[in-house]
Structure 1
C-alpha cells in the first residue's frame, strides 16, 4: 500500500473514476501542475484515509456539490492558482476534518459561503480573487479559524459583523480593500494577535477597539485615511504598531500611554505637526520609532532613553539639533539634515547605514504583490522573538551611532568653507570683484567719451560680475558668522530664503556673463566685417534688444531650480550640485551643454575673424584693442569653465575619482573667478580704460573748476580759456563717436570733428591692428 502518490507536472487532463481503487491507505496526493478542468469526484470516493491533497495549478473552473464527500479525513486542501469562478453551496460537505483550505489566485466573484460547514477549519486563504463583498456573519460556521487571508480582492463592502465571534482567530489580514470605510466590529474575536487592514479608506477607529482586542500584539493600519487616533491603553500586549501613510495630524499624551510591551512604532508619512511632550514617556520597551516624512517642527525626547532605532528624516521644519545625551542606546538613526548627525560623533565621516530600515519599509508593499501562498506566513509568537532578536544581533555588531545623512564637505559640522586656503581665496576674489568691476563700470558710464555697443557690453558684464561677487561675499559672510559652529545654523541657512536668493544671483550672474560675452564676440566679428556700417542707430538698437534677451534667458535659467524642488537648498553653498537627485544632475548637465554651445559659437566666430584678418583685411579694424580684449576674455573664461564642465559630465558617467573637497574648491573658487579676472584684464591690458579714466579725471577737474568759477569773478582771458576747455570735452566726445569702428573718411566726418584744432586738442587715439 502507498501512503503518498506524486502525480504533479504530468499534463494530466482526466482522472479515471476507478484509478485509486485499492489505495485505502493513501494519505497524501499531489495532482498539482496538470491540466485538469474539473474535480475527479468519482476517483476521490475510494480514498477515505486521505489527509492532504493539492489540486493547485490546474484549469479547474467549478467545484460541484459534494465534490469531496467521502474525504472525511482530509486535513489540508490546496486549490490555488486555478480558474475557479464558482462554488457549489455544498461543495465542501463531508470535509469534517479539514483545517487548511487554500483558494488563493482564482476567479471567485462571490464569497465562498460553502465554508460554513467546515467547523474545524483553522486556516483559510482566498486572496487574489474577484470577491467584492464579505457578507454579515460570513464565518459563523467556522469558530476554529485561526488565520484568514483575503487581501488583493476588489472588496467594496464588509459586513460589520463579518468577523464576530471567532474566538480562536489569531491573524486577520485584509490588504487592498480600497472601499472599506469603517473599522470592523470584532466582538467575540478576543484572541486576535495580528490585525492588518491596509490600503482601505478607514478614517477613524472606534474608542472600544482595544476593549475587543485585549491580546492584540501587531496592528497594521497603514495606507488608510486615519485622522485621529483613540487611546490604545487597553491593548496592553501591543508590540508593533504600523500607522504609516495616513492623515494623522497630532499625537496626544494618552494615545500610547502605558503600552509597556510596545517595541516598534511607525508613524511615517502622515501629517503630524504636534507630538505631545509626554506622548512617549510611558513606553519603556520602545526600541524603534519612525516619524519620518511628517510636518514636525519639534520632537519630544522624554521617555526615549531605550531607543535604538530612530527615523526623523523628511521633517524639513525640524531644524534644531538633538542632543545625544537623550539617546544613550541609540544605534541607527536617520535625521532631516546631516548637521544633526554632528552631535552623534558623525562629523565629516561617512557611514554605511543599516539596511534594516529598507527591509521594514518595503515589507508592507511587498505583501501586496506576493504570488506564492506559502510566502504569506504571518509571524507567530516565535517569529516575533526572531524579529526582535535580529535587532539585538544587529546592535551588538555596531558600537557607534550610524547616522544618516552623513556630514561631509558639503554638509560640514564646523566650518562652511572647510579650509583657510578656500577662505582666503574667496575673500580675495570678493574684494577684487567689487573693486575692479566698480572701477570698470564707473569709467565706462561716467566717461564723457562716446560709449559704443562693445563698451556697453563690457560695462554690463562688469555689473553682472558684481552680482557674482555679491553671492560669493554672502557665503563668505555666512562662513565668518558661523565659524566653528556651522552645524547649529546649517539647516536654517540652506532652507532659508537667503540661500535661495544667493543661488539665484550666482546662477543668473554666471549665465548672464557668458551670454553677454557671446554677444560681445559676435558683435566684434560683425563689426570687423561691416566696419563702415555697424555703428548706426539701428544696429545699436539691435544690440540692446539682444542684451535684453540675454538677461531674460539668464533669469529664466536661474528661476528654474526654484520651480522644480528648490535645488538651491540642496547644500549650504546654495548651488545645484552636479550629483545627487536626477533633476539636479539633469539641470547641471543641460546648463553645461548650453554654456559649452556658447563657447563653441564664440570660438567659431573668432576663428573666422582671424582667418579674415589673415586674408588682408587688417585695415578694416579701427579698434584692435577691443577685438584682442574679447579674445582674451574668451580664452580665460573658457579655460576656467572646463573644470565645471568636467565635474558635471564625470558625475553623469559615475566617475568618483574626484574627491568632494576638490569639487567644493572648484565651486567656491573657480566658478566665481571670472568675475574678478574679467575686469582685471580690462584694467591691465586695455588702453580704453586709461583713456576713459583720463577723460573722467579731466571731467572731474572741469566740474570743480566751473564750480569754483561760479563763486568768484574771473577776467576775460580766464573765461575764454574755460570756454575752450569746455569745447575740448564736447569735441572729444564727438570725435570718439566718429572714430569708433568707422574709417576716417572726410565724407563721414562732421564739421565738429575739425573743431579740436581750434583749441589745439587731440582726439582719442585708437590703436589699429598691425
Structure 2
C-alpha cells in the first residue's frame, strides 16, 4: 500500500498537468482542459478533441485543491454540452475577461455558441467561419468591451438562425455591410441593452423570407430617419430607446406585422406620414411615449393598437382610418368614445364615409340589374341551371368590399417563409348571394374593443349625465354663491361690537364655501358647454388649466370649510359651557393663529395632486380619485380620515352643549321655546354634516379597501350632489336664518338709507333681552351667579351665541 499510493498520486498529477497545458499557437487559455457536463456526461476540450461518450468520466482537480506552484490558472474557460434530449445539439459557452477572440478549437459539431462576460473588443470577419457548417445560434452577452463587428462577420453561416447581442454598451454603430452575406435561414436578430445610436442598415437581410423578430430594445437610438428601415419581419422592437422623432416614410417598403415603439419617453413627434408605405402592419405599440398627435397614414390594416400610459396624446384619428381595428388599449377613456361615436368625433370624415356607401349602393344596384339581364341571356343560350361563377364581376366585388378578408395567423412559419402575413380569400358568390349583399348596404358602427371603457366619472356625452342632476347642481351653485356672498358682505361691512371671534370664523367659513360653489360653477359650465360630446373637450378640460383650478378649489375649500366648522363648534362649546370664565374663551389672536394653520393645511392638501400625489385629471369632475401607488392611497385615506375626525369633534361638542342645558330645559315644550329651538338647531347642524360627509367617507373607504359597494354612477351622485351640499347649507344654517344676521343686515341697509325702521326695531328687540334664555349648567338643581362686573358682557355673548348655534 505504501508503494501504490505515491504512484497513483504521481499519475494523477501528471494527467492534470497534461490537461491544463497552454496552447500558445491558437491563443486559447482554459481553466480546465475538460469541462464536465453534469446533465449529459460528456467532455469537450478547447483544442478540438471532444469526447461525446457518456460512459467516460474525466479526472479533474477538485475546486478546493490548489494547483501546482509553477502553474497559473488561465482566466477563461469553455464548456460544451448537449442542449437537447431529443437530438444531438451541442451548445458551448465561453466566458472570462481574458477572452479576446472567439475560440477556434471548439468542437466542430457545435450548434450553439455563447460568449459571456468576455473582454472581446471586436468580432472579426473570420471569427465564426470555422463553425460555418453547423452553427445555428450565436450569442454575445455582457461583453462590455465589444465595440466593433467587422463586415461580413455573419456571412456564409449556412444554418444561422439567431443572432443575440446583449449588454454591449460600447457597441454604438454597425456598418452597412455587417449583415452582408448572411444566410437566408436567419430568423431572429436581437441587439439589446447596448449602445447603438442609430438603426443599423438591414438591407442585406434575406429579401424574400420574413424574420420572426428584429429586436433593438434598450439602446440609445435617437431618431428614425426617412426610409431608414426596410425589412420583412413579424416583429420589430424599437422600445426603450431615446427616439425623439420618426421621419417621413421611415418604414417605407417594410413588411412588419408588429411594431413596438413603447417606452421612448422622448418621442414627442411623429411625422404625418411616419408610417406611410408600411405593409401589412397589424399591431402598433406607442405606449409610454410623449406623442401629442398620432398619424394614421399607412395604418389602415392595423388590428390592435396600444397607447397606454401616454397622457400627452390629445386626439386620436377617426375610426374610418383604421378599417381593420379590433382592439385598442389606450390611456384615456374619452379616446374610446371616438370609436363609439364616429359621427361626433369627425363629422367631415363621417359624411365622406356615408357618401362612399351611397356611391357603392348605386353602383351595386346598377350592376345587379345588368347581371340579371346577362343571366337571362345565358339561360336562353345555354339552357343550364347552374350559371357558374361571377367571372368578370370579381373586380366589382373587390371594390365593394371595403375591408379585406385576412388570416390573423401571421406568426405561422409557413406564412413567414412564403413572404406574407395575411392569406387573402377570394370571395366568389353566386348571383343570389351577390344580389342580397348589394341590396343591403347599410352603415354599421365599427365594433372595437376599447379600454379603458368610459363610465359616469369619465363619460362620452355629458359630465352630469342626468337632467335632474344638472338642474340640482345649478340650484346648489346659485344658493351657495348668493348665500356666501351675502354672509361675507354683511360680516365684513359691520364692525363687531361683541364676539369678534365668531364673526372672524364665519367669514372664513363663507369664503371656503364660496370657493366650493365656484368649483361647482366650473363643472356645471363645462357640462353645459360640451353637452352631448364631452369627449371632444375632455383633454383640454381635464389636462388643461380648468380642471387644475377646479380641483384645487374644491380640495382647498372642503378642507378649509371642515377645519373652520370644527373651530366654530369648539368656540361655541367653550363660549356656552364656560360663559362665566372670560379667561377661558378663544381670543381673536388665538383664532387667527389657528386659522393660519388651517389655511396652510388646506393649501398643502390641495397642492399635493399638482405634484404627482394622485391628480386632478383622472375624472371629469376633477376630484383626486386616482390610486396608482401607496402615496395616493395614503393621501386619500388621509382626506377621509381628517373629515371623519372633524365630524366626530363636531358631534361631541354639540352633544356637550346640549347636555350642558338643564334637565328641565332639555325636556321643555312650552315654558322654554327658545331653548328648545337651540336644541333643534344643533340637531340640524349635526345632521347636515353627517348627511354630507358620512356616505362619502364610508363608500370611499370601502372602495380603497378593494370592496366598492356602489357603482360608479351612484358614486358620481354622491360626489357631485352631496359632497358640496354643505357649501349651500352652511351660510343659511350658521348665519342668514339667525336673528343676529338679520339685525346686522338691517344695520347695513340703514347706512344706505334703506330699512331704517326695521333696523331700529331689530336693535330694540335685541337690547330688550334681560336675561339669558337657557341654563348653563348640566344639572338643573345648580344655579350660577355671575359677578355683576361680568354680567353685561356675558349676557351679550350668550345672546349672540344662542342666535348663532
TM-score normalized with structure 1 length? 0.71
SS of the residue corresponding to residue 123 of structure 1 reads: strand
Per-residue CA deviations over 1:465-494 (Å, capped at 9, x if unaligned) read 111011001100110011111111011110
Indicate if the aligned counterparts of 1:195 and 1:216 stay in contact, CA closer than 8 A. no
Supply the distance in 2 between the matched residues of 1:412 and 1:769 (Cα, whole angstroms).
Answer: 42
**What is the Cα deviation at residue 145 of structure 1?**
5.0
**1-side partners of 2:560 and 2:729: how far apart?**
16
Computed over aligned residues only, the root mean square deviation of the Cα atoms, in angstroms, reads 4.8
Candidates 659, 667, 689, aligned match of 2:711:
659
Q: Residues of 1 paired with 2:234 and 2:585: CA distance?
A: 82
Report the alpha carbon displacement of residue 69 of structure 1 after superposing the two structures with TM.
4.0
| Aligned equivalents of 1:491, 1:423: Cα separation in 2 | 21
Shift of 1:530: 3.3
1:281 CA drift (Å):
2.1
Aligned to 1:148: 137
Counterpart position of 2:173: 182
Greater shift in the superposed pair: 609-618 or 493-502: 609-618
Q: Does 1:467 align with 2:519?
A: no
Give the structure 1 partner of residue 555 of structure 2.
507
Task: Provide the rounded CA distance (Å) in 2 between the counterparts of 1:769 and 1:743.
Answer: 24
Moved more, 463-472 or 268-277: 268-277
Matched, 1:669 2:721: yes
Give 1:117's aligned residue. Answer: 105
Q: Please report how far the alpha carbon of residue 648 of structure 1 lies from its aligned counterpart in structure 2 after TM superposition.
A: 1.5
In the alignment, structure 1 residue 194 sits paired with structure 2 residue 241: no
Matched, 1:407 2:443: no
Secondary structure at the aligned position of 2:514 is classed as helix
Q: What SS class does the counterpart of residue 150 from structure 1 fall into? A: strand
**How do residues 38-53 of structure 1 correspond to structure 2 at under 5 angstroms?**
none
Q: Which of 579-588 and 269-278 deviates more?
A: 579-588
2:219 is equivalent to residue 224 of structure 1: yes
Contact persistence 2:746–2:756 (CA under 8 A): no
Cα deviation for residue 179 of structure 1 reads 4.5
Q: 1:345 aligns with which of 316, 340, 344?
A: 340
1:319 paired with 2:301, answer no
Cα deviation for residue 346 of structure 1 reads 7.5
Alignment map for 1:60-99 (pairs within 5 Å): 68-69=49-50, 71=52
Q: Structure 1's 746 and 611: CA in aligned 2 closer, same or farther, altered over 3 A?
A: closer
Q: Displacement, 1:671?
A: 0.3
Aligned equivalents of 2:98 and 2:257: distance in 1? 39
When normalised by structure 2's length, the TM-score is 0.68
Q: Tell me, in whole angstroms, the C-alpha distance in 1 between the residues paired with 2:654 and 2:565.
A: 12
In the other structure, the counterpart of 1:139 is: 128
Give 2:653's aligned residue: 605
Report the CA distance shift for 1:599/1:500 in structure 2 as closer, same or farther (over 3 A). same
How far apart in 1 are the matches of 2:150 and 2:137? 15
Q: Is the 8 A contact 1:161 1:186 kept in 2?
A: yes
Is the contact between residue 124 and residue 148 of structure 1 (CA under 8 Å) also seen in structure 2? yes
The answer (yes or no) to whether the contact 1:625–1:686 under 8 Å persists in 2 is: no
Aligned pairs for 1:338-377 (under 5 A) are 338-345=333-340
Distance across 1 between alignment mates of 2:498 and 2:733:
19
Cα deviation for residue 696 of structure 1 reads 2.9
2:489 is matched with 442
1:356: which partner in 2? none
2:638 to 581, 587, 590: 590
In structure 2, relative to structure 1, the CA distance for the partners of 1:434 and 1:602 (3 Å cut) is same
Deviation at 1:277, TM superposition (A): 2.2
SS in 2 for 1:116: coil
Deviations 1:637-670 (A, max 9, x none): 1232011111221112222341110011111001
SS at match of 2:223: coil
- Corresponding residue to 2:163 among 172, 191, 200: 172
Partner of 1:332: 327
Equivalent residue for 2:293, pick from 298, 302, 320: 298
Distance (whole Å) between structure 1 residues aligned to residue 328 and residue 577 of structure 2: 67
TM-superposed CA distance for 1:134, in Å, is 5.9
Q: Is the 8 A contact 1:89 1:113 kept in 2?
A: no
The 1:57/1:644 distance shift into structure 2, 3 A limit, reads farther
Secondary structure at 1:157 match in 2: coil
**Which residue in 2 is equivalent to 1:519?**
567
> Cα distance, 1:450 vs. partner?
2.4
Match of 1:369 in 2: none
| Uncovered stretches (5+) of structure 2, i.e. residues with no partner | 1-11, 13-30, 56-62, 65-72, 82-86, 343-410, 425-444, 667-673, 777-783
The 1:293–1:459 alpha-carbon spacing in structure 2 relative to 1, beyond 3 Å, is same
Give the SS at the match of 2:232: coil
Q: Per-residue displacement from partner, 1:557-585 (whole Å, max 9, x unpaired)?
A: 11111112561011111001276665444
* Structure 1 pair 476–416 and aligned structure 2 pair: CA distance change class (3 A): same
CA shift for structure 1 position 626: 7.9
- Residues 99 and 123 in structure 1, CA contact (< 8 A), matched pair in contact too: no
For 1:354, the equivalent position in structure 2 comes to none
Deviations 1:613-633 (A, max 9, x none): 459999xxx999889756643
Contact 1:132–1:157 under 8 Å retained in 2: yes
Q: Do the aligned partners of 1:444 and 1:451 also contact (CA within 8 Å) in 2?
A: no
**Compared CA separation, residues 223 and 642, structure 1 to 2 (3 A):** same
**Deviation digits for residues 580-636 of structure 1, max 9, x if unmatched?**
665444322111011112222333334444444459999xxx999889756643332
Deviation at 1:446, TM superposition (A): 2.6
Q: Describe the shift of the 1:624–1:545 C-alpha distance in structure 2 as closer, same or farther (beyond 3 A).
A: farther
Question: Using a 3 Å threshold, how does the CA distance of structure 1 residues 520 and 152 change in structure 2: closer, same or farther?
Answer: farther
For 1:637, the equivalent position in structure 2 comes to 689
Instruction: Determine the C-alpha separation between the residues in 2 that align with 1:633 and 1:451.
Output: 23
* Aligned match of 2:240: 245
8 A contact 2:333–2:453 mirrored in 1: yes
- Paired residue secondary structure (2:118): coil
1:24-79 per-position Cα deviation (integer Å, ceiling 9, x unaligned): xxxxxxxxxxxxx99989xxxxxxxxxxxx9345999x9656695455999xxxxx
| Distance in structure 1 (CA, Å) of the matches to 2:133 and 2:520 | 74
Relative distance call for 1:140 and 1:39 in structure 2 (3 A) is closer
Displacement of 1:262 in angstroms is: 2.1
CA contact (8 A) 1:691 1:764 kept: no
Which segments of 5 or more consecutive residues in structure 1 lack a partner in the other structure?
1-16, 18-36, 42-53, 75-81, 93-97, 348-378, 393-397, 706-723, 757-762
More off after superposition, 180-189 vs 271-280: 180-189
Aligned partner of residue 180 in structure 1, secondary structure: coil
- Separation in structure 1 between the aligned mates of residue 547 and residue 655 of structure 2, nearest angstrom: 40
Residues in 1 aligned to 2:423 and 2:638: alpha-carbon distance in whole angstroms? 45
Corresponding position of 2:601:
553
Q: Cα deviations across residues 232-264 of structure 1 (Å, max 9, x unaligned)?
A: 5674434431101111111112421112x2222
What aligned pairs does 1:250-329 form with structure 2 within 5 A after superposition? 250-259=245-254, 261-270=255-264, 271-329=266-324
Q: Write the distance in 2 (CA, Å) between the matches of 1:561 and 1:308.
A: 36
Task: Name the CA distance, whole Å, in 2 between partners of 1:766 and 1:624.
Answer: 15
Deviations 1:371-412 (A, max 9, x none): xxxxxxxx99459589998999xxxxx993111221121221
Question: Alignment length, in residue pairs?
Answer: 638
1:340-379 CA distances to partner (integer Å, 9 max, x unpaired)?
Answer: 21232279xxxxxxxxxxxxxxxxxxxxxxxxxxxxxxx9
Q: Report the CA distance shift for 1:91/1:387 in structure 2 as closer, same or farther (over 3 A).
A: closer
Structure 1 residues 629 and 176 mapped into 2: Cα distance closer, same or farther (>3 Å)? farther
Kept in 1: contact 2:46–2:106 (CA 8 A): no
Q: 2:475 is matched with which residue?
A: 428
The 1:180/1:614 distance shift into structure 2, 3 A limit, reads farther
User: CA separation in 2, counterparts of 1:686 and 1:145?
Assistant: 97
Give a deviation string over 1:292-336, Cα, whole Å, max 9, x none.
222222222122211111223333332124211111111111233
Cα contact 2:40–2:54 (8 A) shared by 1: no
Alpha-carbon distance, 1:540 to partner? 1.7
Q: Is the CA contact (8 Å cut-off) linking 1:500 and 1:569 kept in structure 2?
A: yes
- The Cα shift of 1:534 comes to 3.9
